[in-house]
Amino acid sequence: KKELLKVENLKQYFPIKGGLLGRTVNHVKAVDDVSFTVYEGETVSIVGESGCGKSTTGRAILRLDEPTDGNITFDDVNLQSLNKKKMRKMRKDLQIIFQDPYASINPRQTVRQVLEEALEIQNVVPKNERSARISELMETVGLGAHQADRYPHEFSGGQRQRIGIARALSVNPKLIICDEAVSALDVSIQAQVINLLKRLQKEFQLTYLFISHDLGVVRHISDRVIVMYLGRIVEIADKKSLFENPQHPYTKALLSAIPVPDPEKKKERIILKGDVPSPIDPPTGCRFHTRCPFATEKCKTDTPQLRTTDHMKEGHQAACHYMNEIHAGTKEPNYV
Protein backbone atom coordinates (compact mmCIF):
# COMPACT_ATOMS: atom_id res chain seq x y z
CA LYS A 1 0.00 0.00 0.00
CA LYS A 2 1.09 3.52 -0.76
CA GLU A 3 2.26 5.79 2.04
CA LEU A 4 0.04 8.83 1.68
CA LEU A 5 1.12 10.73 4.78
CA LYS A 6 4.34 10.34 6.68
CA VAL A 7 4.96 12.28 9.87
CA GLU A 8 8.53 12.05 11.17
CA ASN A 9 9.78 13.35 14.51
CA LEU A 10 7.16 16.07 14.63
CA LYS A 11 7.64 18.63 17.37
CA GLN A 12 5.36 21.51 18.13
CA TYR A 13 6.55 23.79 20.90
CA PHE A 14 4.57 26.94 21.58
CA PRO A 15 6.57 29.73 23.24
CA ILE A 16 5.32 31.25 26.48
CA LYS A 17 6.25 34.90 26.79
CA GLY A 18 6.83 36.49 30.13
CA GLY A 19 8.63 39.11 32.16
CA LEU A 20 8.92 42.81 31.44
CA LEU A 21 10.68 42.25 28.14
CA GLY A 22 8.15 39.71 26.91
CA ARG A 23 10.86 37.20 26.25
CA THR A 24 10.20 33.53 25.70
CA VAL A 25 10.47 32.09 29.18
CA ASN A 26 9.30 28.57 28.46
CA HIS A 27 7.53 26.33 25.96
CA VAL A 28 4.37 24.31 25.85
CA LYS A 29 5.62 21.05 24.40
CA ALA A 30 2.31 20.21 22.74
CA VAL A 31 3.77 17.58 20.42
CA ASP A 32 7.13 16.09 21.25
CA ASP A 33 8.69 13.73 18.72
CA VAL A 34 5.77 12.04 17.03
CA SER A 35 6.16 9.75 14.02
CA PHE A 36 3.57 7.73 12.11
CA THR A 37 2.46 6.78 8.62
CA VAL A 38 -0.99 6.78 7.05
CA TYR A 39 -1.52 4.53 4.03
CA GLU A 40 -3.83 5.28 1.16
CA GLY A 41 -7.45 4.32 1.77
CA GLU A 42 -7.22 3.65 5.50
CA THR A 43 -8.60 5.44 8.53
CA VAL A 44 -6.09 6.14 11.25
CA SER A 45 -7.42 7.60 14.47
CA ILE A 46 -5.53 9.61 17.04
CA VAL A 47 -7.06 9.39 20.52
CA GLY A 48 -6.21 10.87 23.86
CA GLU A 49 -7.49 13.34 26.43
CA SER A 50 -7.63 17.04 25.65
CA GLY A 51 -4.15 18.54 25.66
CA CYS A 52 -2.42 15.35 24.47
CA GLY A 53 -1.42 17.02 21.20
CA LYS A 54 -3.78 15.29 18.81
CA SER A 55 -5.36 18.44 17.33
CA THR A 56 -1.98 20.16 17.31
CA THR A 57 -0.67 17.27 15.22
CA GLY A 58 -3.52 17.73 12.73
CA ARG A 59 -2.94 21.47 12.51
CA ALA A 60 0.82 21.03 12.07
CA ILE A 61 0.28 18.62 9.17
CA LEU A 62 -1.75 21.30 7.38
CA ARG A 63 0.73 23.95 8.52
CA LEU A 64 -2.10 25.93 10.13
CA ASP A 65 0.59 26.24 12.77
CA GLU A 66 4.14 25.98 11.46
CA PRO A 67 5.78 22.90 13.06
CA THR A 68 8.80 23.51 15.31
CA ASP A 69 10.67 20.52 13.94
CA GLY A 70 10.23 17.31 12.00
CA ASN A 71 9.22 16.23 8.54
CA ILE A 72 5.81 15.88 6.97
CA THR A 73 5.57 14.13 3.63
CA PHE A 74 2.25 14.01 1.82
CA ASP A 75 1.86 12.21 -1.48
CA ASP A 76 5.65 12.17 -1.87
CA VAL A 77 5.93 15.92 -1.34
CA ASN A 78 7.70 17.46 1.65
CA LEU A 79 5.08 19.93 2.83
CA GLN A 80 7.50 22.23 4.63
CA SER A 81 9.33 22.84 1.37
CA LEU A 82 6.23 24.42 -0.17
CA ASN A 83 5.69 28.15 -0.27
CA LYS A 84 2.30 29.60 0.71
CA LYS A 85 0.92 29.47 -2.80
CA LYS A 86 1.92 25.87 -3.39
CA MET A 87 0.69 24.88 0.05
CA ARG A 88 -2.69 26.43 -0.78
CA LYS A 89 -2.81 24.34 -3.93
CA MET A 90 -1.96 21.28 -1.89
CA ARG A 91 -5.04 21.94 0.23
CA LYS A 92 -7.02 20.59 -2.71
CA ASP A 93 -5.77 17.15 -1.71
CA LEU A 94 -5.63 17.73 2.02
CA GLN A 95 -8.78 18.90 3.77
CA ILE A 96 -9.84 19.31 7.38
CA ILE A 97 -13.24 19.13 9.09
CA PHE A 98 -13.62 20.65 12.56
CA GLN A 99 -15.87 19.89 15.49
CA ASP A 100 -18.12 22.88 15.03
CA PRO A 101 -18.93 23.35 11.36
CA TYR A 102 -20.91 26.50 12.20
CA ALA A 103 -17.72 28.20 13.38
CA SER A 104 -15.99 27.51 10.09
CA ILE A 105 -18.95 28.38 7.85
CA ASN A 106 -19.79 32.02 7.23
CA PRO A 107 -23.30 32.44 8.71
CA ARG A 108 -24.20 35.17 6.20
CA GLN A 109 -23.57 32.93 3.22
CA THR A 110 -26.00 30.39 1.90
CA VAL A 111 -24.72 26.85 1.56
CA ARG A 112 -24.52 27.42 -2.18
CA GLN A 113 -22.23 30.42 -1.67
CA VAL A 114 -20.07 28.46 0.76
CA LEU A 115 -19.63 25.65 -1.74
CA GLU A 116 -19.19 28.01 -4.71
CA GLU A 117 -16.37 29.72 -2.90
CA ALA A 118 -14.60 26.41 -2.21
CA LEU A 119 -14.99 25.37 -5.86
CA GLU A 120 -13.78 28.75 -7.09
CA ILE A 121 -10.67 28.92 -4.89
CA GLN A 122 -9.40 25.57 -6.07
CA ASN A 123 -10.83 25.94 -9.57
CA VAL A 124 -12.13 22.38 -9.54
CA VAL A 125 -14.88 22.66 -12.14
CA PRO A 126 -15.61 25.26 -14.85
CA LYS A 127 -17.93 28.07 -13.75
CA ASN A 128 -20.90 26.86 -15.79
CA GLU A 129 -20.72 23.42 -14.14
CA ARG A 130 -20.56 24.66 -10.55
CA SER A 131 -24.28 24.70 -9.97
CA ALA A 132 -24.63 21.08 -11.09
CA ARG A 133 -21.65 20.14 -8.94
CA ILE A 134 -23.22 21.80 -5.88
CA SER A 135 -26.46 19.89 -6.39
CA GLU A 136 -24.47 16.68 -6.72
CA LEU A 137 -22.50 17.43 -3.53
CA MET A 138 -25.69 18.11 -1.59
CA GLU A 139 -27.14 14.79 -2.71
CA THR A 140 -23.89 13.01 -1.93
CA VAL A 141 -24.00 14.07 1.72
CA GLY A 142 -27.71 13.31 1.98
CA LEU A 143 -29.10 16.84 2.09
CA GLY A 144 -31.01 17.31 -1.15
CA ALA A 145 -30.12 19.84 -3.84
CA HIS A 146 -33.00 22.19 -2.99
CA GLN A 147 -31.49 22.92 0.43
CA ALA A 148 -28.46 24.70 -1.04
CA ASP A 149 -30.12 28.11 -0.90
CA ARG A 150 -30.66 28.03 2.85
CA TYR A 151 -28.42 29.55 5.53
CA PRO A 152 -26.29 27.52 7.95
CA HIS A 153 -28.43 28.46 10.98
CA GLU A 154 -31.44 26.85 9.32
CA PHE A 155 -29.79 23.45 9.67
CA SER A 156 -29.38 21.13 12.64
CA GLY A 157 -25.92 20.30 14.02
CA GLY A 158 -25.77 17.02 12.12
CA GLN A 159 -26.87 18.69 8.88
CA ARG A 160 -24.27 21.42 9.34
CA GLN A 161 -21.60 18.78 9.70
CA ARG A 162 -22.85 17.30 6.41
CA ILE A 163 -22.34 20.75 4.85
CA GLY A 164 -18.82 20.80 6.28
CA ILE A 165 -18.21 17.40 4.71
CA ALA A 166 -19.65 18.59 1.37
CA ARG A 167 -17.30 21.56 1.44
CA ALA A 168 -14.31 19.34 2.15
CA LEU A 169 -15.37 16.92 -0.58
CA SER A 170 -15.97 19.63 -3.14
CA VAL A 171 -12.31 19.77 -4.13
CA ASN A 172 -11.86 15.98 -4.48
CA PRO A 173 -9.33 15.57 -1.66
CA LYS A 174 -7.20 12.50 -1.02
CA LEU A 175 -6.95 12.90 2.74
CA ILE A 176 -9.44 14.43 5.15
CA ILE A 177 -8.41 15.22 8.70
CA CYS A 178 -11.49 14.99 10.91
CA ASP A 179 -10.78 16.89 14.14
CA GLU A 180 -13.47 15.88 16.67
CA ALA A 181 -15.81 15.99 13.66
CA VAL A 182 -18.67 14.18 15.40
CA SER A 183 -17.89 15.05 19.03
CA ALA A 184 -20.53 17.76 19.37
CA LEU A 185 -23.34 15.59 17.98
CA ASP A 186 -25.89 13.38 19.73
CA VAL A 187 -25.01 9.71 19.72
CA SER A 188 -27.61 8.75 17.08
CA ILE A 189 -26.54 11.60 14.79
CA GLN A 190 -22.89 10.65 15.39
CA ALA A 191 -23.62 7.19 14.01
CA GLN A 192 -25.28 8.65 10.90
CA VAL A 193 -22.35 10.96 10.18
CA ILE A 194 -19.84 8.15 10.74
CA ASN A 195 -21.77 5.94 8.33
CA LEU A 196 -21.75 8.77 5.82
CA LEU A 197 -17.98 9.18 6.20
CA LYS A 198 -17.52 5.44 5.68
CA ARG A 199 -19.68 5.40 2.57
CA LEU A 200 -17.84 8.40 1.11
CA GLN A 201 -14.52 6.74 1.83
CA LYS A 202 -15.47 3.77 -0.35
CA GLU A 203 -17.04 5.90 -3.05
CA PHE A 204 -14.19 8.37 -3.40
CA GLN A 205 -11.17 6.34 -2.16
CA LEU A 206 -10.64 8.74 0.72
CA THR A 207 -8.08 8.43 3.47
CA TYR A 208 -8.97 9.73 6.94
CA LEU A 209 -6.95 10.92 9.89
CA PHE A 210 -9.62 10.86 12.55
CA ILE A 211 -8.85 12.85 15.69
CA SER A 212 -11.08 12.13 18.70
CA HIS A 213 -11.10 11.90 22.47
CA ASP A 214 -13.77 9.21 22.24
CA LEU A 215 -12.61 5.61 21.90
CA GLY A 216 -16.21 4.49 21.48
CA VAL A 217 -16.45 6.52 18.26
CA VAL A 218 -12.96 5.54 17.16
CA ARG A 219 -13.93 1.88 17.40
CA HIS A 220 -16.54 2.35 14.66
CA ILE A 221 -14.42 4.08 12.10
CA SER A 222 -10.73 3.14 12.45
CA ASP A 223 -8.47 0.68 10.74
CA ARG A 224 -5.59 1.63 13.01
CA VAL A 225 -5.42 3.65 16.21
CA ILE A 226 -2.74 5.88 17.71
CA VAL A 227 -2.99 6.69 21.42
CA MET A 228 -1.31 9.89 22.55
CA TYR A 229 -0.46 11.09 26.04
CA LEU A 230 1.14 14.44 26.82
CA GLY A 231 2.56 15.05 23.37
CA ARG A 232 3.82 11.53 22.71
CA ILE A 233 2.52 8.35 21.10
CA VAL A 234 2.17 5.65 23.77
CA GLU A 235 0.59 2.97 21.61
CA ILE A 236 -0.17 2.29 17.96
CA ALA A 237 -2.00 -0.76 16.64
CA ASP A 238 -4.61 -2.08 14.27
CA LYS A 239 -8.05 -1.63 15.78
CA LYS A 240 -8.56 -5.25 16.78
CA SER A 241 -5.23 -5.48 18.60
CA LEU A 242 -5.79 -2.20 20.36
CA PHE A 243 -9.22 -3.11 21.68
CA GLU A 244 -8.50 -6.78 22.41
CA ASN A 245 -4.86 -6.74 23.42
CA PRO A 246 -4.02 -3.26 24.69
CA GLN A 247 -0.51 -2.98 26.12
CA HIS A 248 0.03 0.44 27.57
CA PRO A 249 -1.50 1.07 31.02
CA TYR A 250 -2.86 4.37 29.72
CA THR A 251 -4.64 2.68 26.82
CA LYS A 252 -6.07 0.15 29.27
CA ALA A 253 -7.37 2.95 31.47
CA LEU A 254 -9.02 4.71 28.50
CA LEU A 255 -10.61 1.45 27.37
CA SER A 256 -11.89 0.68 30.84
CA ALA A 257 -13.86 3.92 30.76
CA ILE A 258 -15.94 2.95 27.71
CA PRO A 259 -19.34 1.64 28.78
CA VAL A 260 -19.88 -2.01 27.82
CA PRO A 261 -23.26 -2.91 26.33
CA ASP A 262 -23.24 -6.36 27.97
CA PRO A 263 -23.56 -6.05 31.78
CA GLU A 264 -22.43 -9.69 32.16
CA LYS A 265 -19.03 -8.74 30.86
CA LYS A 266 -18.55 -5.99 33.40
CA LYS A 267 -14.96 -4.95 33.48
CA GLU A 268 -12.95 -3.29 36.13
CA ARG A 269 -12.76 0.44 35.68
CA ILE A 270 -9.21 1.69 36.04
CA ILE A 271 -9.30 5.06 37.72
CA LEU A 272 -6.18 7.10 37.11
CA LYS A 273 -4.94 9.21 39.93
CA GLY A 274 -4.56 12.95 39.45
CA ASP A 275 -4.86 15.05 36.33
CA VAL A 276 -2.81 15.20 33.17
CA PRO A 277 0.40 17.09 34.12
CA SER A 278 1.28 20.34 32.38
CA PRO A 279 2.93 20.05 28.95
CA ILE A 280 5.14 22.98 29.93
CA ASP A 281 7.15 20.83 32.25
CA PRO A 282 6.22 17.23 31.44
CA PRO A 283 7.34 14.44 33.82
CA THR A 284 10.75 12.94 33.16
CA GLY A 285 11.22 9.36 32.00
CA CYS A 286 7.84 7.90 31.12
CA ARG A 287 5.49 10.87 30.99
CA PHE A 288 2.73 8.69 32.37
CA HIS A 289 4.61 7.74 35.55
CA THR A 290 2.82 10.26 37.79
CA ARG A 291 -0.49 8.49 37.09
CA CYS A 292 0.50 4.93 36.27
CA PRO A 293 -0.45 2.16 38.73
CA PHE A 294 2.65 0.17 37.66
CA ALA A 295 5.25 2.93 37.86
CA THR A 296 8.68 2.19 39.37
CA GLU A 297 11.80 4.27 40.01
CA LYS A 298 13.05 3.33 36.56
CA CYS A 299 9.92 4.89 34.99
CA LYS A 300 10.88 8.25 36.50
CA THR A 301 14.23 8.35 34.73
CA ASP A 302 14.15 6.12 31.63
CA THR A 303 12.01 7.07 28.66
CA PRO A 304 10.34 3.99 27.18
CA GLN A 305 10.48 3.69 23.38
CA LEU A 306 7.77 2.28 21.13
CA ARG A 307 8.44 -1.43 20.60
CA THR A 308 6.81 -4.74 19.80
CA THR A 309 7.23 -7.71 22.14
CA ASP A 310 6.48 -11.44 21.70
CA HIS A 311 2.80 -11.39 22.54
CA MET A 312 2.05 -8.50 20.16
CA LYS A 313 1.12 -8.65 16.50
CA GLU A 314 3.37 -7.16 13.85
CA GLY A 315 2.76 -3.42 13.55
CA HIS A 316 1.52 -3.16 17.12
CA GLN A 317 3.82 -1.00 19.26
CA ALA A 318 3.65 0.46 22.72
CA ALA A 319 6.00 2.47 24.91
CA CYS A 320 6.16 0.90 28.38
CA HIS A 321 9.08 -0.76 30.20
CA TYR A 322 6.91 -3.49 31.69
CA MET A 323 4.65 -4.73 28.90
CA ASN A 324 5.85 -8.34 29.27
CA GLU A 325 5.50 -8.41 33.05
CA ILE A 326 2.07 -6.75 33.00
CA HIS A 327 0.92 -9.11 30.27
CA ALA A 328 2.19 -12.16 32.16
CA GLY A 329 0.51 -10.92 35.33
CA THR A 330 3.79 -10.97 37.27
CA LYS A 331 3.71 -7.24 37.97
CA GLU A 332 1.29 -6.06 40.60
CA PRO A 333 -0.15 -2.55 40.44
CA ASN A 334 0.94 -0.35 43.37
CA TYR A 335 -2.48 0.62 44.61
CA VAL A 336 -2.30 2.26 47.97
Q: Which stretch binds Mg ion (CB under 5 A): 50-58, 119-127, 287-295, 305-313?
A: 50-58
Q: Could you give the maximum distance between any two Cα atoms of the chain, in Å?
A: 71
Strands of 317-318's sheet in order across: 94-97, 175-179, 207-212, 43-47, 224-229, 232-238, 317-318
Instruction: Work out which of 60, 148, 225, 292 binds ligand SF4, going by CB under 6 A.
Output: 292
**Binding of ligand SF4 by 318 (CB under 6 A):** no
CA separation (Å) from 318 to 110, 120, 148? 47, 45, 47
Instruction: Work out which of 12, 43, 45, 55 binds Mg ion, going by CB under 5 A.
Output: 55
Residue 55 binds: one of Mg ion, ligand SF4, none (C-beta under 5 to 8 A by kind): Mg ion
Instruction: Work out which of 13, 102, 208, 322 binds ligand SF4, going by CB under 6 A.
Output: 322
DSSP state of 264: G
Q: How is 191-202 classified by DSSP, letter by letter?
A: HHHHHHHHHHHH
Minimum CB–partner distance for residue 286 and Mg ion (Å): 23
Q: Which stretch binds ligand SF4 (CB under 6 A): 52-60, 88-96, 122-130, 314-322?
A: 314-322
Secondary structure (3-state) at 314? coil
CA–CA gap between residue 325 and residue 307 (Å, rounded): 15
Cα dihedral 143/144/145/147 (nearest 10):
-60
CA geometry: angle 31, 283, 239, nearest 5 deg:
55
Minimum CB–partner distance for residue 82 and Mg ion (Å): 25
Q: Which stretch binds Mg ion (CB under 5 A): 52-60, 101-109, 147-155, 295-303?
A: 52-60
Contacts with ligand SF4, 249-278, as mask; x by CB under 6 A: x-----------------------------
Residue 289 binds: one of ligand SF4, Mg ion, none (C-beta under 5 to 8 A by kind): ligand SF4
CA–CA gap between residue 2 and residue 207 (Å, rounded): 11
Q: Which residues are near Mg ion by CB under 5 A? A: 55
Would you tell me which residues interact with ligand SF4 (CB under 6 A)?
248-249, 286, 288-289, 292, 294-295, 299, 304, 320-322
